[in-house]
Amino acid sequence: MVKKVKAETMKSLLEIYGESCKERIARGVEQAACFWKKKDGTDKEFKKFCEENFLDFSDKEVLQKILQKAEEYWEAVNGCFTKMMLGLLKNIHLETGEITQLDKLFSQFSPMAHLEEDLFENKIAFFFLLNFPSFSLEEKEKFGKSWSRQEWALASIGDMFSSRVPAELYQKINKAMVEAEEYISKYNISLANLTGGKDNDEPCFPKSEKKLQSHWGLRDEIKELYGEEQGGLKKQSALFKVMERIIKQEIPQEVINNSSKDFSWNPFTNETKGISSTPEPDERYSKWLSVFKSISKADRYAFGHSNYIDVNFEKQMKISEKEITDLLIELLSSSQFKSVGKLISKRLKRPLKPWDIWYDGFGVTESSEILDKVVVEKYPNLETLKKSVPEILMKLGFTKEVASYLADRIEIEPARGCGHAIGAEMKSEKSRLRFRMTGGKINSNEFNVFMHELGHNVEQNFTLQKMDSYFLRGVPNTAFTEAFAFVFQSRDREILGLKPSSNLKDEKTLSNFWSACEIAGVALVDIGVWRWLYLNSETTPKEMKGAVVKITKDVWNTYFAKVFGVEDEVALGIYSHAISFPLYLPNYPLGKIIAFQIEKYMENKNLGAEMERMCGAGNISPQFWMKNAVGEKISCQPMLEAVDEILKKIG
């Protein structure tokens, strides 16, 4: 729209509402004009719309009434669409039997695809653009310290319409992501089929009934094997080789999601018996690339952001890419990383292996078999676990009243994939907790995932059901809900009634630090791949595979080689999130850092009461949330200093 029309509109509104509204008028007209198209009306109609719909918020009664009505409308819209989405994805997300073609078609249908465009066409979007200024991340950091709760809510409303993506493109994005998620959900490897012992035909996992999903199941099995004295190293080596084959797309496609006992596969030699052996045709990178291409096509429709990377960090995470990257590099460049690596090597009585990035021997005394037995005895089935949720929450420090309140608002369901949690978005609905169960029973790894997702659900209910404004529901970004999930997950042994070792606190700190370093490397790979894709947007799946392998090696050689003593490893590229959840992985290390600060603050305090208080801050900027929660900004230093103290103590 030409400057003349905007200037005339601003002048007209100033004459009506006066100088006190000058800044809001300027921002509002500029925002609305940015998205106004010819099909929305003529220049004259734009000016008339602004004159009829601009509101003078100096009248507090007018503002309060608009906020109340807006909250009611948006809760209805978001809540109903979320409920619809749950129904459409039910057979993809949950164990309901074989996925049919009809299931796939409905899962790829996004009823929200047309919502944004419809809101623009009926002028609702323009109403909000005109009346609620959008503030940049820099402005929020500068002015937010003096904002009231209402001003934060107004700023949150201003973020709602920052793009005008065509409905057909939203459909394509949804289709690409659902197809990627379906691909991952069915990516299972049966352990009983793996060979490669003393003789090539010797089974690595004789009699095993486990079917492990990549990457979660493979990684967690490696973790479990640290408790196995005989043969654990060889089994870990086999699983790690499976991961390498997946990353390099050398894995025979015939072994994927094949639980038949009539074949064997040696991941060391990549030979199969009793079945054909055809390398998977770069499917991993085809799905990944499809997600990138569909999302990047929306870049041209975003307001104030050049690409999805900027949107992800500046708008969704509300923290700059540089700030997050600096935190990750600080962890990986620390002397503590190398020192803890030496400690692990000493405990293992051998040089570190690449898969020791998932070392899980801190404070663990029981084998996976013993832990599985404890879980099955305590929670023999899903119904028993469901009924136990109030008791679990009370053990974590929540009052009986709050525990019952939360449990009544959580629906627990068996997942087809590893697990996830979905918030309700509407106070009358329940949040969903999904986790995988093996053969109708729950093992220790699955219970650990359950505890993680329970942390998400508790946060989701606090930040929806008890929030003072619907527009402030949630937390600043996904890393914060991951932080609470990590806090819950770390207490799984406590809930199972297992006695803590005398040095459990120190061991947990070392474990959290080591896993934070591991996932920090994975996050740097995720960011690096997206940077590469934007520079090579016309790439092929094969070319992308080569780039991902190179990026993983570069990150490994820069930060991990000096700790592990080996170069050119690709393990950091195994994470499935990178394929189906674009740029999600940086939330994990950030969540680890935040979780440590929260845990440290909560020492000698009640977890239930403190979590409810912290969640009450809602969806404000990350650093203001942290100061409110623990009295300091997001920082690696508390974790690094704690690790230093432990290392000095150990000697």
Residue 630 contacts residue 167 (beta carbons within 8 Å): no
pLDDT value at residue 282: 95
Structure confidence by residue, pLDDT tens digits, 601-618: 999 999 999 999 999 999
Lowest mean pLDDT among 24-28, 149-153, 266-270, 362-366: 362-366
User: Do residues 414 and 434 touch, judged by C-beta distance below 8 A?
Assistant: yes
Q: How far is the C-alpha of 388 from the C-alpha of 410, rounded, in Å?
A: 12
Q: Are residues 418 and 436 in contact, defined by beta-carbon separation less than 8 angstroms?
A: yes
Average pLDDT over residues 467-491: 95
pLDDT of residue 650: 87
Whether residue 364 is predicted with pLDDT greater than 70 in this model: the reply is: no
Please report which confidence band the pLDDT of residue 197 belongs to, taking 50, 70 and 90 as the band edges.
low
Percent of the chain at pLDDT > 90 equals 83
Residue ranges per domain, the chain? 3-161, 183-284, 306-362+503-650, 369-495
Q: Inform me whether the pLDDT recorded for 59 exceeds 90.
A: no
In this prediction, residue 392 carries a pLDDT of 98
Q: What residues contact residue 536 under an 8 Å CB cut-off, 6+ apart?
A: 543, 544, 547
Q: What is the DSSP string of 532-552?
A: HHHHSTT--HHHHHHHHHHHH
- What's the CA gap between 368 and 365, in Å, rounded? 10
- Return all residues near 303 (Cβ < 8 A) that are at least 6 apart: 31, 34, 35, 134, 162, 163
H helices, E strands: number in the chain: 31, 7
pTM, to two decimals: 0.88
Q: How far apart are CA 6 and CA 144, in angstroms?
A: 28
Nearest to 155 by CA among 166, 147, 165: 147
Residue 58, Cβ neighbours under 10 Å: how many? 12
pLDDT one-digit tens code per residue, 64-104: 999 999 999 999 999 999 999 999 999 989 988 889 999 98
**Continuous H helices in 113-158:** 115-121, 124-131, 137-143, 149-158
The alpha helices in 186-312, defined as continuous H runs, are: 216-224, 232-247, 283-296, 308-310
pLDDT at 362: 87
Tell me if 297 sits within 8 A of 582, measured CB to CB: no
- Of the pLDDT bands very low, low, confident and very high (cuts 50, 70, 90), residue 428 is very high
User: Measured in whole angstroms, how far is the alpha carbon of residue 34 from the centre of its chain?
Assistant: 31
Across 301-323, average pLDDT? 91
Q: Report d(CA 140, CA 134) in Å as an integer.
A: 10
Write down the pLDDT at residue 646: 96
Predicted pLDDT at 221 = 93
Segment 93-150, tens digit of pLDDT: 998 888 999 998 999 888 888 899 999 999 999 999 999 999 999 999 999 999 999 9
Distance (Å, whole) CA 308 – CA 318:
13
Choose among 253, 232, 528: nearest CA to 355.
Answer: 232
Annotate 625-636 with DSSP letters as a single string: HHHHHHSS---S
Neighbours of 62 (CB within 10 A): 12
Q: Please say if the pLDDT value at position 201 is more than 90.
A: no
Residue 501 has pLDDT above 80, yes or no: no
Give pLDDT tens digits for 330-363. 999 999 999 999 999 999 999 999 999 999 888 7
Average pLDDT over residues 379-402: 97
Segment 30-52 shows an average pLDDT of 95
C-alpha torsion sign, points 73, 79, 81, 83: negative
Q: What is the pLDDT of residues 535-589, one digit of tens each?
A: 999 999 999 999 999 999 999 999 999 999 999 999 999 999 999 999 999 999 9
Does the pLDDT at position 304 exceed 80? no
> Are 27 and 133 contacting, i.e. CB atoms less than 8 angstroms apart?
yes
* Cα first-last separation, the chain: 69
Backbone φ, ψ for residue 318 (5° rounding): 60, 35
The chain-wide mean pLDDT, for the chain, equals 93
Of the given ranges (109-123, 188-202, 311-325, 421-435), which has the lowest mean pLDDT?
188-202
pLDDT above 70: residue 198? no
**What's residue 224's pLDDT?**
87
Distance of alpha carbon 99 from the chain centroid = 25
Longest dimension (CA), the chain: 88
Res 375 pLDDT > 80: yes
- Digit-coded pLDDT (tens) for 223-273: 989 878 778 899 999 999 999 999 999 999 999 999 898 999 999 999 999
In this prediction, what percent of the chain has a pLDDT beyond 70? Answer: 99
The rounded distance, in Å, linking the Cα atoms of 147 and 136 is 15
